[in-house]
Chains A and B, each alone.
Chain A
């Protein structure tokens, strides 16, 4: 493992996530959306429940996560220099005109912070936000950043790709504090790459300028005909190897791969391509929460950080292909 001698170490100091209390079985989600839920589908998804948010302001989940995260880090809001939103799904108000990080700053009283959000990259926005934050901490007058996300599914749109379900969306929010120093999870390298040809494979077509009046298209959809999981995973593996090389390690040094909790089938293919032995390290998170966009990473990283005290894991690769458009891979030491 290498870090340039003059390079400032940057790490995740604390993580937190906020999951709404109400549970719904995946079987009930399928029935509500008029879909059959058979054994084969159940096995492919590997999900039992999702948690559903019933309030009006989804940003409140992020605020709760942010407060807990600050508390765990032993920091006061006034110590935050930067608030970054990495949410993926529609927010309280229409993005990009509105950015949740401004509300989080206000509610926390993070008076000296600058606020922004990253979008358009699916779950990879989490890695983009971390790359930007780590770079600012290393090169600019930024010491401490708060990253937040909240993702609540569009009503009636939890099962993604209803013809051949790819995943089921749960609701939740998460937060991280990133700062100078190694923290509980040191960021060693982050690599990103995009394939613009796939920019609209993952999108909500209705309600924007393309189809402003098509309420029926106000649904998150994945264009399955243009999405090749195998191709995406091979590209992601290559990018992850690049990130590992930047960190001065080989893939054999990586103890665990952290990816979004899409489905059991997805994790299986992931294991095949990455040469893992059908590892399902985060299966329990997937089973109880479903897929919560970038919050999946925070839940899975939190599990690893907690396991560290038991002497497990050291180097991890955190990676996502953003449904073939936005790729990111990060090497961390936990």
Chain B
């Protein structure tokens, strides 16, 4: 019989501060107005604002982790495996370092094994 595997709980953490996309486009000198092929980033991007932070990205991950283990009703010590699937640069240079070990330390997941998978994009999440 096939063993069932499922997602027990999920969580995400977004920092409180927000910044409008128009502001970001200005700060980063992204041209506005209609360009060739009728492209207008401000009009077409479909994003009004994003959450921004000065905090280290590992700290954001930690807050999401704390939420998810709470929702799942488990302790860090119940976790066997921690996989970091971050896509952009982290606290320290990769692939030498990943946040997985930091998370293990912070949630006392002492029996877990920690690693990071890199794929080059957000399909990290889908690795089976």
Bound state CA distance, A97 and B121, in angstroms?
6
Q: Which 8 residue pairs are nearest across A and B when measured between Cβ atoms?
A: A199-B101, A196-B104, A119-B95, A120-B98, A196-B105, A204-B93, A95-B94, A117-B118
Residues of A within 8 A of B98 (CB): 96, 119-120
How distant is A242 from chain B, measured CB to nearest CB, in Å? 13
- Extra contacts besides A85-B95, A203-B97 (9): CB < 8 Å: A98-B120, A102-B120, A115-B119, A116-B127, A117-B95, A120-B99, A204-B93, A208-B92, A209-B57
Q: Interface size bucket, B side? A: 35 or more
* Cβ–Cβ < 8 Å partners of A210 in chain B: 56, 91-92
Q: Are B93 and A97 in contact (CB under 8 A)?
A: no
- Per DSSP, chain A at the interface is loop
Which of chain B's residues have a CB closer than 8 A to the CB of A125? Answer: 95, 115
Bound CA span A88–B102, Å: 18
Counted as pairs of residues, one from A and one from B, with CB atoms less than 8 Å apart, the total is: 155
Is B102 touching A196 in the complex (CB atoms < 8 A)?
A: yes
Q: Tell me the A89-104 residues at the B interface (CB within 8 Å).
A: 89-91, 94-99, 102
Most chain B beta-carbon neighbours within 10 Å: one of A88, A90, A95, A199:
A199
A194 (CB) vs chain B CBs: closest residue: B114
A248 at the interface (CB under 8 A from B): no
A91:B88 contact, CB within 8 angstroms:
no
CB atoms of B101 and A96 under 8 A apart: no
Closest chain-B Cβ to A136's Cβ sits at a distance in Å of 9
The CA-CA distance from A200 to B93 in the complex, in Å, is: 11
- Asked whether A198 is an interface residue with its Cβ less than 8 Å from the other chain, the reply is yes
For window 24-73 of chain B, which residues contact chain A by CB distance below 8 Å? Answer: 56-57
Indicate if the CB atoms of A99 and B115 lie closer than 8 Å: no
Residue from the list B86, B96, B115 in contact with A118, Cβ < 8 A = B115
Nearest-Cβ distance from residue A244 to partner chain B, whole angstroms: 18
Q: Are A194 and B104 in contact (CB under 8 A)?
A: yes
Residues of A with C-beta under 8 A to B94: 94-96, 119-120, 208
* Given A94-B94, A194-B104, also A326-B114 (CB < 8 A): yes
Establish whether residues A209 and B91, one from each chain, have CB atoms under 8 Å apart when the complex forms. Answer: yes
